[in-house]
Amino acid sequence: MLGIESKGILIVYLLCIASSILCVVYGLLNWNRGEEAVGPDDVKWAAEESKVEEEL
């Protein structure tokens, strides 16, 4: 079949195609989902990051 003699190689090709299709479907479903809400942990991390950058 298509010059592929080993069943293992055939399975690998099919899994690559399936994973590509799943990636496209995931991308389409999450295309315009938006950003996550900013939480207090994010604000704290940004403040600490700014402080570290100023010290450098």
Tens of pLDDT, residues 9-48: 899 999 999 999 999 999 999 988 878 788 888 889 999 9
pTM of this structure? 0.57
Query: Which tokens go with 28?
Result: 């389409």
As a whole number of angstroms, the distance between CA 52 and CA 46 comes to 10
Domain ranges of the chain: 1-33
DSSP result, 24-42: HHHHHHTTT--PPPPPHHH
